[in-house]
Structure 1
Amino acid sequence: MDNIIGDPHAGLQTRNRTITENTSLYAEILDTGIMETCLHAAFVSQLEPKNVKEALADNCWIEAMQDELSQFQKLHVWDLVDLPKGMHPIGTRWVFKCKTDDRHVMVKNKARLVVQGFYQQEGFDYTEVYALVARLVAIRLFLAYASFVSFKVYQLDVKSAFLYGKVHEEVYVTQPPGFEDPHNIDKVYKLDKALYGLHQAPQAWYETFSKHLLSNGFDRGQIDSTLFIRKTGGDILLVQVYVDDIIFGSTNEEMCREFERVMKSKFEMSNMGELSFFLGLQVSQREDGIYLHQTKYVQDILSKYKMNDCSTYGTSITVNHDMQPDKDEKDVDCKLYHGMIGSLMYLTASRPDIMFAVCLCSRFQSQPKESHMITVKRIFTYLKGKTRLGLWYSKQQSFEFKTYTDSDYGGCNLDRKSTSGGCQFLGDRLVSWQCKKQSTVFVSTCEAEYVAVASCCSQILWIR
């Protein structure tokens, strides 16, 4: 205990980021545009350790690990016991991450103790593991409605959310590496709450969270079970949850403050203020509407695949692309191709302009060739010239539901299947879009368009 830095019973604390405004240093670094970096550099480690041995040599990471273990003690996550006969303990490991904000400024060192869940045996260590998460289209619908009724959207983050989930199975884990009890080296921890890495952890957290809201007067959405609604008189409070990230808004600011009090009565929260960064989506709430974009993500993937210095194109794909699996062409690295396609697929959450090109390139993932890689790189060069393109949800009165759909006829060069496309609007707010190759070859444009309409109608029913 003498070697622990600080009070182990104290809660997590945010380092002070203030600086006196009347100092010449403040004025100087403000002019150079590196103020945030300077404020954090003295208090946060800039390097992520590769193992526990490296982490234990840095006081910043030692504090981060002690913060994590202090949360375990406060929430009564586990008990040190002897391993029962016939039981097997699951290994644990530390995961170290330097947290950055949407401007790439490093603001926090996060050490998380995770369970090596791949050692768990189904039916013995866990049974049901299904947990609900919000769809990205549900997030866009939430923001579109917020722009229509003109309320602010706020964000809450639950600290170590999975530690609140109750574990119903009998699970034992090894002691944390670097923090073993020297007097009880052969003992293990029996889990009472879930840890990150357990198969059942997301479900346990969602069950705890939903029960708390339902017991405080909220109603769960009948279609989207990650949406919680509370009505008081003519006012409404909406809460959308994606694992441990929560966004909420209300037509009455007092209901927002009441919701915050309800959450803090059971969970340790960090109030993030107005929503600005959520699931990789950057949200700018303005007086005349909400702007949704992924500028930071675009810059990250351009840097990751070394496309920062490339020239730009005005379109994401040529008109007569004529993509086909040419066996005579040279093969490319499948892992690299898959990674680029996966990065672009997530970008379609706010960029419908690249939807068709990305879906087309994803059809050749089994045996990618040089021509396919060239097409993928063209999408990146197109993004280079339009990094800040996004969705604009204006604060205008119309909220009319409109939808459009169409289909080509035998557009695929491989099997002559057609491609369906569709989009849905609330007023002038684009909230949903689709692009998908049909599963059957049709003999007429009428048949192909009927299939496109059927697919679009299913999306319409879900949105309504």
Structure 2
Amino acid sequence: MELTPFHYTLYQVCKLSRSLYGLKQASRQWNAKLTTALLNVGFKQSNADPSLFTRGKDGDFFALLVYVDDILVASGRMALIQELKDLLNKAFKIKDLGALGYFLDIEASSSKDGMNICQRKYALDILNDAGFLDCKPIRTPMVPGSLLSPKDGTVLSDPSSYRRLIGRLLYLTATRPDITYVVHHLSQFVSAPTDKHMIAAHRVLRYIKGSPGQGLFYLAEASLNLKAFSDSDWASCAETRKSVTGYCIFIGASLVSWRSKKQATVSKSSSEAEYRALATTACELQWITSLLRDMHVSSANPAVVYCDNKSAIAIAENHVFHERTKHIDIDCHIIRERIT
């Protein structure tokens, strides 16, 4: 009998006992494991922000903020922080990076007066990659009164550079509220950007060149009263005639939240647009209040909201105006509930 030779290769199959980087479920499994470990040592996960964990109260209180595998810890007692580091190191083998100085491209510097955060290095990297490190700075991020549309200019043959630039500028708005409106306006055109859109984006870079280290300062000694400023730009979008909601929220004198976003529906009047902006502001205030409550921070005074539209204020305060607001979504009337 003639034997036919065959070639075989032996493979060793391993059963994974833990998640690995690169797998789709890796980040979820890591987060679940870390959450379980923190809950087991007495931490409470915030309902307002699942990435925030708190434990203790008064002098024994400390908070922990998680972003994937980067962790920030804050407490008034170093002994508590050291205890937590020992627990985490025993379970996960952590690397201690010391006092907060640089976190997710955000630079933080503390003093007795407060804390300053900015993204200077990140901003300079954007300017360097775009070739604008030696450009002449300007004083405004966009031409006053200019309105861009998807049909302006000639479509770029390679839109990837525009998309990358806008994506990086969007992250820069984490500490630069002064460019939030124009960057979000430019982000509407990432699907088919034109040369005029790119020119407008380059103007933002020239504006950043004038103050790359600009950021936010949080006072160490300040009141904990919440106040918000709400506004709306009625039917400002020339293509859809949708309005733009804008608000900024302060704790004392420190800016903690801001937004500039096009509304989901078309408003029939400026009063309706302002009222929708008020409702959005009220929802953000409610979230911040819940977050502060999880951190055992309370204010004796109710949050104050400033609005420059008398009709919107009347609708918010007076339930008799139901005939004029039947077409407005029920969700918008949350501002009435918050006032009550």
TM range (shorter): 0.7 to 0.9
Q: 1:193 to 1:317 in 2, by over 3 A?
A: same
In structure 1, the residue matched to 2:146 is 321
1:342 pairs with 2:183:
no
Secondary structure class of the residue paired with 1:435:
strand
Displacement after TM superposition at 1:185 (Å): 6.5
Q: In the alignment, residue 253 of structure 2 is paired with which amino acid?
A: D
| TM-score of the pair, normalised by structure 2 | 0.79
1:416 pairs with 2:241:
yes
1:293 pairs with 2:118:
yes
Q: 1:439 to 1:266 in 2, by over 3 A?
A: same
Q: For structure 1, which runs of at least 5 residues remain unmatched after alignment?
A: 1-183
Alpha-carbon distance in 2 for matches of 1:242, 1:416: 38
Deviations 1:312-366 (A, max 9, x none): 1111011121322336x32223111111111111111110000001111112223
The match for 1:365 among 173, 190, 211 is 190
Alpha-carbon distance in 1 for matches of 2:94, 2:59: 28
Deviations 1:153-203 (A, max 9, x none): xxxxxxxxxxxxxxxxxxxxxxxxxxxxxxx97324321111101111111
Q: 1:314 to 1:185 in 2, by over 3 A?
A: farther
1:459 pairs with 2:284:
yes
Deviations 1:239-291 (A, max 9, x none): 11111101011122221111112112212111111011111111112221111
Q: In the alignment, residue 446 of structure 1 is paired with which amino acid?
A: S
The match for 1:250 among 53, 75, 81 is 75
Alignment of 1:304-453 (within 5 A): 304-326=129-151, 329-332=153-156, 333-453=158-278
Q: In the alignment, residue 226 of structure 2 is paired with which amino acid?
A: F
Secondary structure class of the residue paired with 1:189:
coil
The match for 1:267 among 72, 92, 104 is 92
1:211 pairs with 2:42:
no
Deviations 1:375-432 (A, max 9, x none): 1100001011110000000112311111111001111122221111011111111111
Q: In the alignment, residue 266 of structure 2 is paired with which amino acid?
A: V
Q: In the alignment, residue 236 of structure 1 is paired with which amino acid?
A: F
The match for 1:284 among 109, 118, 139 is 109
Alpha-carbon distance in 1 for matches of 2:187, 2:211: 22
In structure 2, the residue matched to 1:165 is none
Alpha-carbon distance in 2 for matches of 1:369, 1:320: 19
Alpha-carbon distance in 2 for matches of 1:368, 1:222: 39
Secondary structure class of the residue paired with 2:108:
strand
Deviations 1:23-57 (A, max 9, x none): xxxxxxxxxxxxxxxxxxxxxxxxxxxxxxxxxxx
**Is 2:166–2:183's contact at 8 Å kept on the other side of the alignment?**
yes
Displacement after TM superposition at 1:232 (Å): 5.5
In structure 2, the residue matched to 1:193 is 18
Displacement after TM superposition at 1:438 (Å): 1.0
Q: 1:268 to 1:449 in 2, by over 3 A?
A: same
Alpha-carbon distance in 2 for matches of 1:425, 1:192: 47
Q: In the alignment, residue 221 of structure 2 is paired with which amino acid?
A: Q
Alpha-carbon distance in 1 for matches of 2:144, 2:37: 53
**Is 2:59–2:77's contact at 8 Å kept on the other side of the alignment?**
no
Alpha-carbon distance in 1 for matches of 2:253, 2:85: 32
Q: 1:386 to 1:209 in 2, by over 3 A?
A: same
Q: For structure 2, which runs of at least 5 residues remain unmatched after alignment?
A: 1-8, 290-340
Q: Give the number of the structure whose residues are more often helix, by fraction.
A: 2
Secondary structure class of the residue paired with 1:271:
coil
| TM-score of the pair, normalised by structure 1 | 0.58
Secondary structure class of the residue paired with 1:448:
helix
Displacement after TM superposition at 1:223 (Å): 2.0
Alpha-carbon distance in 1 for matches of 2:201, 2:229: 27
Alpha-carbon distance in 2 for matches of 1:381, 1:421: 24
Alpha-carbon distance in 1 for matches of 2:198, 2:29: 42
Alpha-carbon distance in 1 for matches of 2:206, 2:144: 16
Q: In the alignment, residue 109 of structure 2 is paired with which amino acid?
A: S
* Aligned residues between the structures: 280
Alpha-carbon distance in 2 for matches of 1:239, 1:285: 18
Q: In the alignment, residue 210 of structure 1 is paired with which amino acid?
A: T
Alignment of 1:127-142 (within 5 A): none
Percent of aligned positions with the same letter in both sequences?
38
Q: In the alignment, residue 248 of structure 1 is paired with which amino acid?
A: V
Alignment of 1:122-161 (within 5 A): none
Deviations 1:443-463 (A, max 9, x none): 211000111111111111111
CA RMSD of aligned residues (A): 1.5
Secondary structure class of the residue paired with 1:190:
coil
